[in-house]
Chain A
Amino acid sequence: MSHNQQQHIAVAVSNLGKAYRIGIAEQKEENLISAMIKSIAAPFKNFIKIKSLKNIQSNTQGKDVFWANRNISFEVQQGEVLGIIGKNGAGKSTLLKMLSRITEPTEGRIELYGRVASLLEVGTGFNPELTGRENIYLNGTILGLTRKEIEERYDSIVEFSGIEKFIETPVKRYSSGMKVRLAFAVAAHLDPEILIIDEVLAVGDAEFQKKCLGKMQEVAGKQGRTVLFVSHDMAAVKKLCTRAILLQHGTIIQEGTPNDVVNYYLLNAASIANGNEVAFEHAKGNKKFVIQQVELLNEHGEVTQIAESGKDLQIRLFYQVHEKGPDPVVILRIRNNLEQVLFTCLSRNSYHGIMQLNQTGSISCIIPKLPLLQGVYSIDVVLKFGQDITFDIESAFNIEVEKGDFFGTGKLNNDMQNGMIIYHSWSME
């Protein structure tokens, strides 16, 4: 790499890894007794340890070791906005925690060129008893500003938050929206060269979110600042980021333009929809007519793991008939995260005529313009021959739904999660 290019690197990550001991975090005992036992046993352990030294990194390869991140390498140029996407548990948070120096990597190296601010949460350290003004100073210093820097930004922070009237009121009397506004206002004025930001935009009302997205764009674009941005909001990633990486099982599996990476993610990310096979075996019913596998297909008929709000979704059930019966019925119940049934797809009513089954085959339920908000939904599957239940399983599989442009207005349902969305329109006379 030429000297000239090197000057413009803001973040360089090489071979980064973080291992946790499952159950016992980082070789630490949770209580004194076990630590004492451990210290008594230490000579024996040391013996084994020395013996296994031939094994490279023997201390981090045991069965009780879980690598939250491994072999992560990437570079971010100055002025770039890097989107980091991946399912829950893919290692995004651990990566951010290492980048923000909260936790130390087990291996590898991170180099950061410039002042860093990280925002894994809005309003860290807010104290409910203190007033808005007092919390601006407390939160600001926690985020690394000095008193002088806060004083210079104070008026602008208060103005941005839009809660001038309540600035001398204890924060415990604020609505949650007001708290977020105030917290984000502080964060927006950090003015770092590198901003590391977790899904903080998922909170707050839509109008304020727009303001924050605008502020982020301003930070990234106009001032040539570098942003690392973790999000589940695919549209925001596409809109804001200049490049994206996709994490899965703690490593980068895809890197490129936001469009490519997001599309790859939606089509291929780790299997969520594949039903729990063990659970399938424990289904209730007489098993004459059963489901063996489930598949999700997107609007183009491609197998996908994640559904998008407002796009056509096809749920394909692979069945097997062990013993023939009359009048087959398929019931899918869609539940939200509170286990409430949102709607039911009942083939007895919606299927034209009577289903004709083979020995094996597939039945697809097509839901046009998926009316679900961002979130994870669990699906109950019930199969019947007439009134006879042949297969009944609660939470047979989950569907993860990402945000989408449901109304075709170019706007996302940022402020809503875990629920239904009904198509409607407005007219004005």
Chain B
Amino acid sequence: MRTLLRRSPPRPRSDAALKRHKWYVPLVFVGPVLILQGTFLFTPLVNTFVLAFTDASTVGGGTFVGLRNFTDLAGDNEFWAAVGRTFIYMAFTVPVIVALSTSLALLVNTSLRGSSVVRLLLFSPMVMPLATIAVMFQFVLESDGLINQVLAGLHLITEPIPFLSSSDLALLSLMLVTIWKGCALSTLITLAALQNVSTELDEAASLDGAGWLRRTWNVTLPQIRGTTILVAVLVSIAVLRVFAEPYIITGGGPGTSTETIVLYLFQKGVSPGTQAGYASAISLVLFVFVLAIAAVSWMLTKRRRA
């Protein structure tokens, strides 16, 4: 090994040493991914743009209809209600998850005895299948479910709260499930950032007589702002795609009060609907929303670095 190392130039250029590969070598390594992505990513992506301008059905057929799907969509009140609902969902869950996971991360960022068990517990919902969690919370939120039992037992309520059967409350109830599950990963990410914060500034502020709250708010949290933004963006995109919670727990009901964008897309394009063309138009609008969030996050990070 030593003789070999002596032969190599002092500052090795890996690329130059490797350029001698035969033409088929890179192909062997990237061929499989290109075939898979070509079939299941690029083809469907291009096809989505094509289908959106046809009246295709998932069972076959389809002719070019120009912009009709989009003009129909523009006047589709049920769709825009679903869009509004999804954004309300976002407006509520994102700040709550960010605030809660930051607080939880600050709380468990300690070497107190027992805190490692609490951390293990707090992070665990992140690996539990969302669909199964949703089934579980269906029971928890029912009129004779866990939450109503606890509230009744504490004599806080006399009538069970209709978490799932009231069209005013159902969406909020679903948000609870998203928050319960979503806090786990967010807390983990935030805690990892907190641990990279140096304690020196905190100690200096402490010597200056700043209390815990002021030190946390003015010294610690500003240092992890990048991570906080990252968590907010990750949660926003996840919530834009929310599907399993309404599909499993309420089926979009009562009425259409918990119908979200992806649930509506599913109903139009997969089951019971078969309108591939119309669903593709919905997909493209969803895509625009995702791009918008990505753009906002990009601007936020850029402003921070500048």
A and B associate: no
- Chain B positions within 8 Å of A, measured between CB atoms, are none
